[in-house]
Chain A
C-alpha cells in the first residue's frame, strides 16, 4: 500500500526543489474546459492525459495544466486552450487522450502547434 512515508519523502524532495523552480515560472498554460458539456464530451481523460503526460515528459517546470468551466463553444468540446508567453493562443477542439499525447510531443515539446486539430481547421 502507498504509504504516508512515501508522501513525506515527496515533501522532502519538493521542498529542496522549490528554490530551484521559482526562477523558471510557468511559461505555458494548458487549459481544459471542464463544464458539463466538456465532461459529457470526454474532457476528463483529456485532462488526465495532459496532467500525466506533461509530468512524464519532464515539462512540469514550464507547463502548467489547469481546468476551466465553460469556454462557450459546446459543439467543439472537449476544448483545450494553450497560452504561451508572447504567442497567440492556440485552441484545440474535439480532443481526446490520443490527440493530447500528440500535442504534448509536437506542440509542447517540439514547439509546433498541430493545425489540423485547431478550431481554425474545424471551422473551415
Chain B
C-alpha cells in the first residue's frame, strides 16, 4: 500500500472489530517525525495474543490465513528507523477497564516513507461505516492542527440522526476540507 492513510484505516479497523465504543486517533506529524497513535476501549488482547501480534501468520480471524495489518505497519516503521509499540488489557482479565493502545513512529522524511494520501477519506470512511463509535481525530502538522470529535457532533445532532446520514457526512467532508485547507 502506498498511502499512509490506508494503513491508518486498516489499523483503526482493528479497534472497530474489537468492539470499541471510543477510539482516539492521533497523528503528530511535525519536524520530520510522525507519531501515529490509536487508543481504544475494545476487547483488548491477552499477553499471549499480544506476543503473537507481530507474527504475520497470526490472526484471530478464520477467513484468511494471514494477518497483514500490524506486521506491515511495523515493517514500514522499521524501514524508516521508527517502531511500533502495542499495549493492551484484555476484557477477559479486566472486565471493568480494557482496551488497546498502539503507538507507531516514523521518520517522515526518510526515503522509504510513503505519502500521507487521502487522510480525510480515511476519517470519513471510518465515520460512515461506524456511526455509533465515538472517534476523535487529531492531526497535528507543522502548519497547524485539525480536530474532529464525533461525540461533539452527536451532542449537536441529538439522537435519531446518525453521523452516517448523507447530509451529515457532506458537512463532515466540507469541514475537513476547509480545516486542511487552512493548515496547508
A34 within 8 Å of B (CB atoms):
yes
Residues of A within 8 A of B64 (CB): 35, 37, 70, 74
B129 within 8 Å of A (CB atoms):
yes
For A3, give the chain B residue with the smallest CB separation. Answer: B175
Q: Is A37 within 8 A of B166, CB to CB?
A: no
Size band of the interface chain A makes with B:
20 to 34
Q: Is B128 within 8 A of A47, CB to CB?
A: yes
A51-105 interface with B by 8 A CB criterion: 51-52, 54-55, 60, 65-67, 69-70, 72, 74
For B64, give the chain A residue with the smallest CB separation. Answer: A70
Q: A3 vs B54: C-alpha distance in the bound complex, in angstroms?
A: 43
Q: Is B171 within 8 A of A44, CB to CB?
A: no
Residues of A within 8 A of B138 (CB): none
**Given A67-B129, A72-B63, does the pair A40, B68 have CB atoms closer than 8 Å?**
yes
Residues of B within 8 A of A47 (CB): 125, 128-129
B124 within 8 Å of A (CB atoms):
yes
Grouping DSSP codes into helix (H, G, I), strand (E, B) and loop, the A interface class, with mixed when no group exceeds half, is: helix
A6 within 8 Å of B (CB atoms):
yes
Grouping DSSP codes into helix (H, G, I), strand (E, B) and loop, the B interface class, with mixed when no group exceeds half, is: helix
11 further interface pairs, Cβ-Cβ under 8 Å (given A1-B175, A15-B161, A39-B6): A2-B174, A2-B175, A14-B161, A14-B167, A47-B125, A51-B128, A55-B166, A55-B169, A60-B166, A65-B128, A67-B129
B167 interface neighbour in A4, A10, A72, Cβ under 8 Å: A10
- Output the residue of B122, B125, B175 with the most chain A CB within 10 A: B125
**Given A14-B161, A15-B161, does the pair A2, B124 have CB atoms closer than 8 Å?**
no
